[in-house]
Amino acid sequence: MTSIANLPDLIPYKEIEDAREKIKGHVLQIPLVPLNIDWPHGKIYLKLENLQPIGCFKLRGACNAIACMEESEMKQGVYTASAGNFAQGLAYCTKKFGIPCDVFVPDHAPSAKVDSVHRLGGEIHKITFDDWWEIIKSHRYNGMNGKFIHPVSDRSVIAGNGTAGLEIYEDLPDVDAVIVPYGGGGFSCGIASALHHVKPTCKVFASEVETAAPLSASFKEGKPTTCPYTASFVDGIGGKSVLEEMWPMVKHLLSDSLVVTLRETADALKLLAEKNHVIAEGAGASSVAAALSGKAGNGNIVCVISGGNIDTPKLVDILQGNIP
């Protein structure tokens, strides 16, 4: 189990560089792409993690977590709790290494993600959102054997996620701000750790949606805070609260949480499809919605498109101008 004491205020540069070597050949290094619109406040760039083999960034952290395991640990198998994206990353990696993989998903997890995990060989266990969230908080599920790999606060996962931050800086040294969809903080803090080392003046913002914005509430209160949660088509981010073990790192590294509406997120998703021919899921589009709102400021803004795993009926509904 990962404890608060095992997480520093930021991940050391060497751990992120080591992670880059370990995941090389398994994870794509995708160059930044400009958003094809005229934006009067500067230029918006897209970090297209939806183009990874599993359709999201989670492959970075999952791959590094597996690479950091001892061979004796691998024989016992691994398990995780995930809304779908980290589960895909872990199942993708465990299939390559022949490692048993169990995945607990909330009962509202989209079928596109769950089906992908199943195809990759992961054993699916559907449970209620409350029970799923309890695993996220406690880092365990009674009766399960093998190593639990936390999708957010595992140090090796955060280091793997940080490799995206190094790539952003190398592609755009003049980056002014980066917006990262906020699920639990592992991706945003990984990217922010990397940028803190190479471009400390760059601000890193989280993006959240109005239906689940615990980080925004926590920043306002100055401590991890519980907030109302309503399930929506934005299923890859949002929870009931900020994880306590992540809070020291989050408050040290992130500038703020930019909260957007479901309408703004759906419009951003539609814009990505029409202007850049990019299919994003709701979470991935939230960063673009936040940038277009102007809340991240002016200049060179990078929006991380965290994933593109969205059920087809929801995508069609959004392209028709609706909110699923």
Same domain, 109 and 21: no
Calpha distance 242→140 (Å, rounded): 18
Percent of the chain with pLDDT over 90: 73
List, for residues 284-312, the tens digit of each pLDDT value: 999 999 999 999 999 999 999 999 989 89
Express each pLDDT in 27-71 by its tens digit: 999 999 999 999 999 999 999 999 999 899 999 999 999 999 988
Do 51 and 63 lie in one domain? The reply is no
Give the Cα separation of 242 and 257 in Å (integer). Answer: 12
| Statement to judge: residues 194 and 76 lie in one domain | no
Both 37 and 124 in a single domain?
no
* CATH number of residue 108's parent domain: 3.40.50.1100
> Is 105 in contact with 125 (CB distance < 8 Å)?
yes
Residue 6: pLDDT above 90?
no
Contact 237, 184 (CB under 8 A): no
Q: Do 88 and 188 sit in the same domain of this protein?
A: no
Q: Is residue 14 located within the same domain as residue 95?
A: no
In this structure, the answer to whether residues 160 and 276 fall within a common structural domain is yes
pLDDT score of 240: 82
Closest alpha carbon to 123 in 58, 77, 154, 157:
77
> Which residue range(s) make up the domain with 139?
59-148
What are the distances in angstroms from CA 242 to CA 215, 221, 296?
6, 12, 21
* pLDDT at position 3 over 60: no
Mean pLDDT of 169-179: 98
